[in-house]
Amino acid sequence: MVAVKDAQHSKQQILAAAFRVIHQKGFNRASVKEILADTGLTKGAFYHHFASKEAMGKAILDEIEGAIGSVWLEPIEALDDPITGIQEAMRAYAGSLSAEEVALGCPLNKLALELAPTDDFFRVRIKQIYDGWRSALADALRRGQRAGTVSQMIDPMGAATFFVAAQTGGRGLAKNAHNADILSVCADHLVRYLDTLRP
Amino acid sequence: MVAVKDAQHSKQQILAAAFRVIHQKGFNRASVKEILADTGLTKGAFYHHFASKEAMGKAILDEIEGAIGSVWLEPIEALDDPITGIQEAMRAYAGSLSAEEVALGCPLNKLALELAPTDDFFRVRIKQIYDGWRSALADALRRGQRAGTVSQMIDPMGAATFFVAAQTGGRGLAKNAHNADILSVCADHLVRYLDTLRP
Amino acid sequence: MVAVKDAQHSKQQILAAAFRVIHQKGFNRASVKEILADTGLTKGAFYHHFASKEAMGKAILDEIEGAIGSVWLEPIEALDDPITGIQEAMRAYAGSLSAEEVALGCPLNKLALELAPTDDFFRVRIKQIYDGWRSALADALRRGQRAGTVSQMIDPMGAATFFVAAQTGGRGLAKNAHNADILSVCADHLVRYLDTLRP
Amino acid sequence: MVAVKDAQHSKQQILAAAFRVIHQKGFNRASVKEILADTGLTKGAFYHHFASKEAMGKAILDEIEGAIGSVWLEPIEALDDPITGIQEAMRAYAGSLSAEEVALGCPLNKLALELAPTDDFFRVRIKQIYDGWRSALADALRRGQRAGTVSQMIDPMGAATFFVAAQTGGRGLAKNAHNADILSVCADHLVRYLDTLRP
DNA sequence: ACATTCGGGACGGCCCGTTCCT
DNA sequence: AGGAACGGGCCGTCCCGAATGT
């Protein structure tokens, strides 16, 4: 009855455990050994699926990219009134995080801060993700401009950039304070900021 | 005339080198050995001045606290129109950073992200610094409310929190992108946001 | 048209690749993985054909034994004047090696030096090969003694031993120096030495 | 009474143990851990004295160079009749080796065979040692030519090269066979070869 | 007091030969 | 014959303490 060897399952298990440990300790302090301890697998399995710890980190980035897509981008994908959509996503997000998730902070920001100065590959990959996020937001705002729900005066990309920055910063502040209220406050302010983008 | 052993000088040297290395690599990856390599001193000296690597980290936090004070707080300390003061500080800050400083990002944020989940002492100490920053900003806004330069409708602490969060987030985004323009964009948006706090 | 699974072919492929890698890196440093990389096969195939890496090493020794036979023994198998035969084989050998082959040295000697102290089975097997070589040379010299082309005064086995030793030593020295001239010099001296064995 | 920390002593201890283990297992299979097990020291000590395992290997080569000097070169340093001197050194050497030493073989040859194709630094350093050996022998022979104890017809460097090669080869053969007689036989033949170099 | 040298161990990521199941 | 997983080994790094000057 021992679970048969299932490559995909093992790889996903490792990825999930790695995400958890890295989210908590950061990439460098997350030891391969500890990651594997959560899975019951051994180093042989790890290095069968990933060429190196770094390669696994890249795979995790892919997952994070997907998560950002489903939380922030899909909900507003085809909206004529993107501002309301983003506001709702923001509120849903700020309200959905458990105390633990608040204390852990944004995984992408964590990796960005830790790895950007050291490893250029990671930096560029993370930049891609952030750029994708900002672009999708800007696209939505442009759609709104065409639909008349967003002011013609504003610069979509600039506004999107500011939103991503402020959102990320708010979550970082809340994390360090172990305080979800900070997140709420920032969310409120961002919602109000978004209102100023209406015509 | 080789400088005789000068305790204070050695300690400052270590602190300066440590700040540099930690800013770049983070606390954990900054090895004591590498820090000392920059100074010409040896481990004996290090452990004479600091009980542990962690203790040295705390000393660095003190320095960072001072730096925040002189960049963000002193310029607006007694202003009747704090909003204009903060706007000027913001613009000065965004304009003053070299490409290298942009790429390194905010040292406090870096430490916050890295150490908060792992080491509670650090987290609390960093929280003190952020709280001090936010409080000082809130105080300034309250002073403005009394002077009539700031709207009575706004919550000073909330606005201060949002400002710190957005500023920090902007610098993080710019760092990862190796792009000072992102910082400028965020600064512009923050300046505009601050305008909305006027009566 | 792709060759169907051909057991013998696969085994030979592995053996050939293994010989190459082992010749270059030695037995221990030659990883199974690297050997297989050259062949396109996988570990499953390897352990299908060989019980262990060690077992494969033994198969390689068989190949080496054959190669020594065809280079050194067959040419003088039935000669009445073995000294001239050996001299010619020596000169042919020294002249035929490419710069690369010089730099790689004698594969048998390499294995002998590396494995003799650690693995007794290998040592004994290699000893067999060296003994076979020496015996065949001694036999040839005895044949020459009977034919009157070799002095009665010399000890055939002793001379054969010295020849093998000096030849091997010369190739080792040349290998380390990346210098075929050393091989030539040693070959000349051995030719002259062989002349002293004539009546 | 625990031995006080004595840098020089510790370093020598490590070097001695390393020589032993490397002589037996070769450089790659000689693990730092095993080397240290013999000494009672730990990795901290090892990496305090040596930058890397490779660096330690180079230090060992220095020791080997010294040993060759005292066994082969010093005894004939200023002799007018170098041939007799070399013959005596050869006989002394062949007679002095214990069964264990025979079974271990020449440490320099072992390193040469193992590391030459992989690590060019080692190869060149080992070449230096061999070249030094050959040159010293050639010098001695030239001195003999001037003194009239060595034939004018022979090429000193060629003869020295052949001597080193044959001696090394003989020791290798004896090692693999676990048989000191092979060494004696080769020594005898070399002695006789040396006689042919007299006027 | 200040600084150095020496050494201790625990861990870090990675690789290796091998086995098991398909 | 292939793919997945095992488990232990390897070299090197890290933070730090103890003994030793100066």
Q: Which residues 4-63 on B are within 7 A of strand E at the CB atom?
A: 5-7, 10, 40-45, 47-49
* Closest residue, chain D, to C173 (C-alpha): D165
**b/e sequence A17-51, b meaning 16+ C-beta within 10 Å:** bbbbbbbbbbbbbbebeebbeebebeeebbeebbe
User: Length of chain B, please?
Assistant: 199
Closest Cα partner for C106 from C88, C94, C116, C118? C94
Nearest residue to F12 via alpha carbon and C1'? D52
User: What is the Cα–Cα distance from D50 to D12, expressed in whole angstroms?
Assistant: 12
User: What is the Cα–Cα distance from C81 to C63, expressed in whole angstroms?
Assistant: 28
In whole angstroms, how far apart are CA C24 and each of C29, C57, C179, D6, D114?
A: 9, 14, 17, 41, 9
Tokens describing residue A58: 């890249």
pTM over 0.85: yes
Nearest residue to F13 via alpha carbon and C1'? B31
* Closest residue, chain C, to D123 (C-alpha): C176
**b/e sequence D149-178, b meaning 16+ C-beta within 10 Å:** bbeeebebbbbbbbbbbbbbbbbbbbbbbb
Of the ranges A70-74, A125-129, C184-188, D184-188, which one carries the lowest mean pLDDT score? Answer: A70-74
Tokens describing residue C58: 């033994």
Residue B78, pLDDT score: 87
User: What is the Cα–Cα distance from C160 to D177, expressed in whole angstroms?
Assistant: 15
- Pair A117, B103: CB distance under 8 Å: yes
User: What is the Cα–Cα distance from C175 to C110, expressed in whole angstroms?
Assistant: 11
Closest Cα partner for C86 from C97, C74, C98? C74
* Closest residue, chain A, to B110 (C-alpha): A113
* Burial class, B162, CB count within 10 angstroms (exposed 0-12 / middle 13-18 / buried 19+): buried
Torsion of CA D31, D33, D36, D41, to 10 degrees: 150
| Interatomic distance B36 CA / E5 C1' (Å) | 15
CB neighbours of residue C111 within 10 Å: 26
Judge if the beta carbon of C118 is closer than 7 A to nucleic acid strand F. no
Residue D104, pLDDT score: 96
Q: Is the pLDDT of residue A93 over 80?
A: yes
Tokens describing residue C24: 């270059």
Question: In this predicted model, what pLDDT tens digit does every residue of D106-150 receive, in sequence order?
Answer: 999 999 999 999 999 999 999 999 999 999 999 999 999 999 999
Nearest residue to E3 via alpha carbon and C1'? B45
**How does the average pLDDT of chain B come out, rounded?**
93
**b/e sequence D8-33, b meaning 16+ C-beta within 10 Å:** eebbebbbebbbbbbbbbbbbbbebe
Minimal C-alpha gap between C74 and chain D (Å): 22
Residue D4, pLDDT score: 58
- Pair C168, C145: CB distance under 8 Å: no
With contacts defined as CB-CB under 8 Å, which chain A residues touch B188? 158
Residue B117's contacts (CB-CB under 8 Å, 6 or more residues apart) are: A24, A25, A103, A104, A105, A175, B123
| Interatomic distance D57 CA / F1 C1' (Å) | 42
Mean pLDDT confidence for A51-64: 96
| Interatomic distance A33 CA / E11 C1' (Å) | 10
Question: In this predicted model, what pLDDT tens digit does every residue of B8-56 receive, in sequence order?
Answer: 788 999 999 999 999 999 999 999 999 999 888 999 999 999 999 999 9
Residue A5, pLDDT score: 61
Is C42 in a helix, a strand, or coil?
Answer: coil
Strand E footprint nucleotides (protein C-beta < 7 Å): 1-22
Residue C38, pLDDT score: 85
**How does the average pLDDT of chain A come out, rounded?**
94
**Nearest nucleotide by C1' position to the B43 CA atom:** E4
Residue A4, pLDDT score: 52
Mean pLDDT confidence for B61-87: 93
**Which member of A104, A109, A178 has the closest CB to residue B172?**
A109
